[in-house]
Structure 1
Amino acid sequence: MTVTLETLDARYNIPQPALSRSWLCEAMADVLNQLDAMLPRFTTTFPAASASKGRYPAVENVDWTEGFWTGMLWLAWEVTGDDKYRVVAERLIDSFEERLDKKIKVDTHDLGFLYQLSCVNAWKLTCNTRARGLALRAADLLYQRFNATAGVIQAWGDLSDPARQGRMIIDCNLNVPLLFWAADETGNSAYREAAVRHLAQAARYLVRDDASTFHTFYMDIENGQPLRGDTHQGFSDSSCWARGQAWGIYGFALGFHHTGDTTQPELARRLAHYFLNRLPEDYVCYWDLIFTSQDNAFRDTSAAAIAVCGLAELLNILPLTDPLRPAYHNAIKLIMRNLSTHYFASAQDGLLREGVYNFGRHMGINEPNLWGDYFYFEALVRLSRVWTPYFC
Structure 2
Amino acid sequence: MSFPVLPRGSAPNSQAKMSRSPLLARAYDLCVEKARRNIRRLADAPKSGAFAADGDYFGFHEGFFEISNWTSSFFTGMALLAYRSTGDTEFLAQCNRLKAPYREKVVRHGMDTMHDLGFLYTLYSVAAYKQTGDREHRETALLAAAELAKRFVPEGKYLRAWGRMDENRTDYAGLAIIDSLMNLPLLCWAAAESGDFRLREIADRHASTVLEYFVRPDDSVCHSFRFDPRTGAPVGADNYCGRTVESCWARGTSWAIYGFALMHGYTREARYREAALRVARKFVSLLDEELVPVWDFSLPEGEPRLRDSSAAAIAACGLDELQKYLPGETGLTAAADALTERLCSSDYLDERLECPGLLKHAQIGDGVGKARVAYSSWGDYFFMEALARRLHGDPRFW
Q: Calculate the TM-score normalised by the size of structure 2.
A: 0.90
Structure 1 residues 96 and 260: alpha-carbon distance in aligned structure 2, compared to 1, 3 A threshold: same
Deviations for 1:346-380, whole angstroms, at most 9, x for unmatched residues? 23322111112223269993211110000000000
- The residue that corresponds to 2:156 in the other structure is 150
Q: Single out whichever of 278-287 and 374-383 deviates more from structure 2.
A: 278-287
Question: 1:388 Cα shift?
Answer: 3.6
Q: 1:142 to 1:213 in 2, by over 3 A?
A: same
Letter in structure 1 aligned against 2:335: A
Q: Does 1:366 align with 2:367?
A: no
| Offset at residue 112 of structure 1 (A) | 0.4
C-alpha separation in 1, matches of 2:299 and 2:246: 13
1:215 and 1:234 in contact (8 A); partners too:
yes
The amino acid of 2:78's aligned partner reads M
Residues 14/277 of structure 1: CA separation in 2 closer, same or farther (3 Å cut)? same
Q: CA deviation at 1:251?
A: 0.3
Give the C-alpha shift of residue 330 in structure 1.
Answer: 2.1
Equivalent in the alignment of 1:107: 113
Segment of structure 1 superposing worse, 106-115 or 352-361:
352-361
Match of 1:43 in 2: 43
Which of 131, 141, 144 does residue 137 from structure 2 map onto? 131
The amino acid across from 1:344 in the alignment is: L
SS at match of 1:356: strand
Match of 2:272, SS state, is: helix
Question: Bigger shift: 127-136 or 44-53?
Answer: 44-53
SS of aligned partner of 1:279: coil
Whether the aligned pair in 1 keeps the contact of 2:260 and 2:276 (CA below 8 Å) is yes
1:82 aligns with 2:88: yes
**Superposed counterparts of 1:8-47, under 5 Å:** 8-9=4-5, 11=7, 16-17=13-14, 18=17, 20-45=20-45, 46=47
1:98 aligns with 2:104: yes
Deviations 1:130-157 (A, max 9, x none): 1111111111111010011110000011
Match of 1:218 among 226, 238, 243: 226
Change (3 A) 1:155 1:89: same
Write out per-residue CA displacement over residues 179-233 of structure 1, whole angstroms, 9 at most, x where no aligned residue.
Answer: 1111111111211110000000000101111111111001234443211101111
Task: Name which of 344, 360, 363 aligns with 1:356.
Answer: 363
Query: What CA distance in whole angstroms lies between the structure 2 residues aligned with 1:50 and 1:116?
Result: 20
DSSP-derived class of the 2:113 partner: coil
The one of 61, 65, 90 equivalent to 2:64 is: 61
Which sits farther off after the overlay, 11-20 or 28-37? 11-20
Aligned equivalents of 2:281, 2:210: Cα separation in 1: 18
- 1:350 and 1:373 in contact (8 A); partners too: yes
Structure 1 residues 106, 67: closer, same or farther in 2, change over 3 A?
farther
Ranges of 4+ aligned residues in structure 1 off by more than 4 Å:
12-15, 361-364
Deviation for aligned residue 1:248: 0.2
Partners of 1:78 and 1:135 in 2: CA distance: 19
Matched letter for residue 200 of structure 2: R
The answer as to whether partners of 1:34 and 1:346 remain within 8 angstroms in 2 is no
The share of aligned pairs that are identical, in percent, is: 34
Question: For the structure 1 residues 310 and 74, does the alpha-carbon distance in structure 2 shift closer, same or farther, using more than 3 Å as the test?
Answer: same
Mapped partners of 1:47, 1:146: distance in 2: 25
Question: Given the alignment, which residue of 361, 374, 391 partners 1:384?
Answer: 391
Match of 1:184 in 2: 192
Equivalents in 1 of 2:37, 2:116: separation in Å?
A: 28
2:270 match: 262
Q: Distance in 2 between matches of 1:249 and 1:180?
A: 18
Q: Secondary structure at the match of 1:43?
A: helix
Gaps of 5+ in 2: none
1:338 maps to 342
Q: Which residue in the other structure is 1:170 paired with?
A: 178
Verify the 8 A CA contact 2:293 2:308 in the aligned structure 1.
yes
Q: Which of residues 306, 320, 325 in structure 2 aligns to 1:317?
A: 325
**What is the CA deviation profile of residues 310-344 of structure 1, one whole-angstrom value per residue up to 9, with x for unaligned ones?**
000011111x3x2x31x222212221121111200
Structure 2 letter corresponding to 1:256: H
The change in CA–CA distance for 1:235 and 1:105 in structure 2 (over 3 A counts) is: farther
- Indicate the SS of the match to 2:344: helix
Structure 2 distance, partners of 1:302, 1:183, is 30
- For residues 302 and 5 of structure 2, the distance between their equivalents in structure 1, rounded to whole angstroms, comes to 20
When structure 1 is superposed on structure 2, of 375-384 and 289-298 the one drifting more is 289-298
Moved more, 113-122 or 95-104: 95-104
Structure 1 unaligned spans of 5+: none
Residue 271 (structure 1) aligns with: 279
Q: Quick check: 63-72 or 98-107, which moved more?
A: 98-107
Going from structure 1 to structure 2, the CA distance change for 1:362 and 1:368 (only over 3 Å counts) comes to farther
1:104 to 1:151, Cα distance in 2 relative to 1, 3 A: closer
- Greater CA drift, 354-363 or 40-49: 354-363
Rounded Cα–Cα distance in structure 2 between residues aligned with 1:141 and 1:20: 43
Aligned to 2:236, the other structure's residue is in SS state strand
Distance 1:85 1:293 in 2: 46
* Alpha-carbon distance in structure 2 between the residues aligned to 1:230 and 1:363: 15
Matched residue type, 2:341: R
Which of 207, 227, 244 does residue 235 from structure 2 map onto? 227
What do you get for the CA RMSD once the two structures are aligned?
A: 2.3
- How far off is 1:383 after superposition? 1.3
> Matches of 1:101 and 1:191 in 2, distance apart?
19
